[in-house]
Structure 1
Amino acid sequence: MGLKYLWVAAIWGLTGCAGLRTSPVLPVEVTQTIAKAELTQATFGLVAYPLHDRSRALRVNAELAMQPASSMKLVTTVVALDKLGPNARGRTDLLAAAPLLGDVLQGPIYLRGGGDTDLDWGALQMLLRELREQGVREIQGGLVVDRSLFRPARLDLGAPAFDEAPEFAYNVIPDALNLNGNLLSYRFTADAQTIKARVFPAWPGIALDVGALTLSDKACKDWDEDWLAPQVLDNDQVRRIALAGAFPRACVLSAELNLLDRQWLTAQAVRQIWQELGGAFGAGTDQEGATPAGARVLASHHGRPLAEVVRGMMKRSDNALTRLTYLRLGAASAAADEDTRPAAQRAVQEWFVSKGLDSAGLVLDNGSGLSRSERIKPAQLAALLEVAWSGRHAPELLTSLPLAGVDGTLSRRFKGSAAEGRARMKTGTLNDAVALAGYVYDAQQRPWVVVVMLNGPGSGAKGRPVLDALVDWVARQAD
């Protein structure tokens, strides 16, 4: 191929055996970067080949099931586009089963979630406004939130935290309602001596306590380094949030956090908005439950088409959006008594089989890669990319992928390199896993499929230069 190569063997350890499973030929640039990174205990996986000539493939541990981190989002995206379709939309409905007598609804209002990716506070306000303008003033039966599209309806309840920061947006476990992504905005303002905090929107019943929050000299951009998980105290109808840790002086910022129970927060928002619209609730209580058969739809909100949603999933590597899409895939495939996540895994496995692809060793958990159990072989991910390249939804996939040196999670990578503007790839990073997977155009503008992963201690912190060296090498191929 016109460049020097170096034989590499037994420089990475694999559990239960010594060295690589094959003795691959790798570019000198890559092996030098590996040596510099001192990743002696890491496992390296690679498949790279030009789509016009698969015989030129580089393969290292191609058949080893590895932890893909967020590059697993490629699987969820490709399968969802194919099975749900690029125009698939989630929706949210307001429904009633009781009669309307004058301006009084004689029972509860049902808020039914349908995997809507865009139900924010403003969309909720417009739903309720539409109901108000239909002549409804008083709702006697309270609010019933229907999250039953997914089974179980509340996957977040009892779920172990992925890491020590379950309140941050990347860790949110979605449900079928997914109101405002189950997040609330916390606004912090600090000068040289004092800290102030408030929530937005200021739904009733929320109190912030900054008494234990001290000031630090950290840069504002590093505000979360001294952040400690807040304590939430339930006192009747008031949720008191005790903030802890330290916050930088002379810093003003907003953080989207998941601190309050989503059912309580939903009820607070609905009641406050309804009151602002001139409406009233009777004595009915708020609860979670299923919408009865025959209930009539009074107002609806539709999310964006899936083809638009996947841009956020991939460009920003949005875990919650990807998990929601994975659950929608499961809901569309589930049998009557089947839980949603197993149904989603089955749908993915069946898709692989339908395309003639190997599915052995493929393990999915939530479809986002934010998991310690998800596994895929580099060869499987490369085969998926090859199928997707010639598939009917290739344009939607390609435009969703981060472009090297330009946008998304690759906006700051590959600047000034041969790959800048010529690699469309999904990133993946966990503490012990790092990956890049997608398409790279070489110097003759010929597309390559490239999948490269590193697993093992220190991979997340040290492995990125190794992956970047390989991608840059592909981009410079001219023969």
Structure 2
Amino acid sequence: MLSGAPALYAGNWSDDIIDYATKSLENPQALSLAAVPLDGPGTAQYVNADFPMKPGSIMKLVTTYAALELLGPGYTWDTDILTDGKLEGETLKGNLYVRFGGDPKLSIERLWALLSELRGMGISKVAGDLVLDGSYFRLPAGQPRFDDNGDNPWAPFLVEPSAYLSNFNLQQIHLQADQRGIRAWAFPDLPQVSLDNQVKTAASAPCPRADDLVWKPAFAGDGAVTLTVSGQMPRDCRVSTYLSLLPPEQFSAALLRTLLAELGIAVAGADRFATTPENAEELLRTTSPDLVTMVRDINKWSSNVMARQLLLSIGAAKRADDEQDDRRTGVREILDWMQGKGIDTAGLVLENGSGLSREGRMSAQQGVALLQHAWDSPYAPDLMSSMPIIAIDGTMRKRLKNTELEGRGRIKTGSLDHVRSIAGFTRDNNNTTWAVVAIVNNDPAWNGQAVLDRVLYSLYYHPPAATAVSQVDNAAGEIPSR
């Protein structure tokens, strides 16, 4: 375990890291590393740096930095309310259209505020249909999907991108044990999802975690879902979890209709999915926070669906009229942008832009080259402020505690089966900032985190100011075993 007191250091910096990684991982090719000083003395270090590795969520830095330069930090997303009818008293004689704009963070709070304006306009009834327009993204069938090997396909990190996305396509399910027994409810409470609470009251015991209970949804042919929850809870406990149980278009239709009803607005017609007519009149609009805010949410907490929405948004903004796949267009635009900076993209596979991929590949050399360009970018402060601070917040909040590194680096993390990774900026004890990318691909990779923390620790306490560059031989150019 690393502590605040530096251990005695001897020898070449890269060789020391290679030795530690090889002993920990039992695989000399499991670690790929590139570390480059940016504003002070130091010697760049490379270990297996040209290997294409599975990067995990550090791929989000590629997508978010590209978005800042390709779309601009002030870029926003609009969601519009329109109609093809006329107002007569408190009745809207026509259809109510909701035209989605690919917003990565269209929250229930913003939707409620938007729809409440309809009530403020004196509307209490819509005579026509509720029509959802998700034509903003062009996504042909057959998009790559992440093959998760877990037992919860409804987990938040697996939510797919969609123009219809709202509230991250999630419901929060709550269970509370008190003197009345065990109560269960969902927020938002959607009529298509019902709860079958089979949780029993237990004798005095520690409160369970959400994973200690069994959450089993059953899907009916009409789109309804019954979620059965079973297990045991003692009194005075509360447990909650997030689940994505409905397709995004069905979820958003149910959420919109539920919010309208709560606001006292009845919709007489059905839910439909269609393109908004050109002659429809705009009634209201909600505009998202700017891209800088979105980038911070994506990188601090490693939001997969927001990163994937962002890649599609790049594609939608940059596509030619005849292009029909915003994911492919987004990937092409990012690769072209990187090549324009002189970064060799050979072997780089973005796939969905989030790193939630078995096929994604990036070398440490490519990653550190990108960070070197980011350091000199006008948007460097925006990207750096989005990254978790060592031992303080985001996905780094519990790492390297009680060391002098606390607060001295901004590091994006990544984690998948057989993958651990870090990428970002960290300082050494001479106050030199380093760009660092380190990726572990190994089976198992759980102890890879200790290796990556060792990299940051050694850069701080023993910066390689005058050591020789070390590079593990890989004459055959093989990809290391995963």
TM-score (norm 1): 0.87
Residue 347 of structure 1 corresponds to 333
Distance 2:23 2:73 in 1: 43
CA RMSD after TM alignment: 2.8
- Cα separation, partners in 2 of 1:95 and 1:435, compared to 1, 3 Å: same
Match of 1:380 among 357, 366, 369: 366
Distance 1:220 1:334 in 2: 51
Match of 1:230 among 216, 222, 245: 216
Q: Does 1:322 align with 2:307?
A: yes
The amino acid that maps onto 1:299 is L
The amino acid that maps onto 1:211 is Q
Residue 9 of structure 1 corresponds to none
Distance 1:173 1:330 in 2: 16
The amino acid that maps onto 1:4 is A
Contact 2:31/2:441 (<8 A) preserved: yes
Q: Does 1:4 align with 2:7?
A: no
Distance 1:300 1:85 in 2: 21
Q: Does 1:71 align with 2:67?
A: no
Distance 1:154 1:241 in 2: 29
Residue 187 of structure 1 corresponds to 174
Residue 26 of structure 1 corresponds to 14
Contact 1:189/1:195 (<8 A) preserved: yes
Match of 1:144 among 98, 110, 131: 131
The structure whose RCO (Cα within 8 Å, separation 6+) is larger is 2
Q: Secondary structure at the match of 1:5?
A: coil
Q: Does 1:96 align with 2:78?
A: no
Distance 1:103 1:190 in 2: 44
Deviations 1:207-244 (A, max 9, x none): 211238897999546431x4555223337585422335
Q: Secondary structure at the match of 1:114?
A: coil
Q: Does 1:358 align with 2:344?
A: yes
Distance 1:286 1:143 in 2: 5
Distance 1:317 1:236 in 2: 34
Q: Secondary structure at the match of 1:374?
A: coil
Q: Secondary structure at the match of 2:286?
A: strand
Match of 2:240 among 251, 254, 258: 254
Q: Secondary structure at the match of 2:220?
A: strand
Contact 1:402/1:426 (<8 A) preserved: yes
For structure 2, the residue ranges without an aligned partner over 5 or more in a row are 1-7, 466-482
Distance 1:54 1:363 in 2: 33
Deviations 1:371-419 (A, max 9, x none): 1111111111000000000001000011111111111111111112232
Contact 2:18/2:28 (<8 A) preserved: no
Q: Secondary structure at the match of 1:372?
A: coil
Residue 455 of structure 1 corresponds to 441
Contact 2:200/2:233 (<8 A) preserved: no
Distance 2:378 2:242 in 1: 36
Q: CA deviation at 1:455?
A: 0.5
Residue 452 of structure 2 corresponds to 467
The amino acid that maps onto 1:233 is F
The amino acid that maps onto 2:158 is N
Residue 273 of structure 2 corresponds to 288
Deviations 1:108-142 (A, max 9, x none): 11111112233222222222221232233321221
Contact 1:119/1:303 (<8 A) preserved: yes
Deviations 1:323-361 (A, max 9, x none): 121221121122233211101100111111111111111
For structure 1, the residue ranges without an aligned partner over 5 or more in a row are 7-24
Distance 2:116 2:55 in 1: 44
Match of 2:197 among 196, 210, 224: 210
- Cα separation, partners in 2 of 1:299 and 1:380, compared to 1, 3 Å: same
Q: Secondary structure at the match of 2:100?
A: strand
Deviations 1:223-275 (A, max 9, x none): 31x4555223337585422335x355453122221012333333333223323
Q: CA deviation at 1:421?
A: 1.5
Q: Does 1:302 align with 2:308?
A: no
Distance 1:433 1:55 in 2: 28
- Cα separation, partners in 2 of 1:50 and 1:119, compared to 1, 3 Å: same
- Cα separation, partners in 2 of 1:352 and 1:235, compared to 1, 3 Å: closer
Distance 2:438 2:164 in 1: 36
Q: Does 1:241 align with 2:241?
A: no
Q: CA deviation at 1:171?
A: 1.3
Residue 418 of structure 1 corresponds to 404
Contact 1:150/1:331 (<8 A) preserved: yes
Q: CA deviation at 1:456?
A: 1.9
Match of 2:109 among 122, 146, 170: 122
- Count of residue pairs the alignment pairs up: 454
Deviations 1:125-170 (A, max 9, x none): 22222123223332122111111111228989x9565343221111
Residue 443 of structure 1 corresponds to 429
Contact 2:182/2:199 (<8 A) preserved: no
Contact 1:403/1:422 (<8 A) preserved: yes
Residue 298 of structure 2 corresponds to 313
Residue 260 of structure 2 corresponds to 274
Distance 1:155 1:125 in 2: 34
Q: Secondary structure at the match of 1:465?
A: helix
Q: CA deviation at 1:193?
A: 11
The amino acid that maps onto 1:134 is M
Bigger drift between 425-434 and 31-40 goes to: 31-40
Match of 1:133 among 113, 120, 141: 120
Percent same amino acid among aligned pairs? 34
Q: Does 1:83 align with 2:89?
A: no
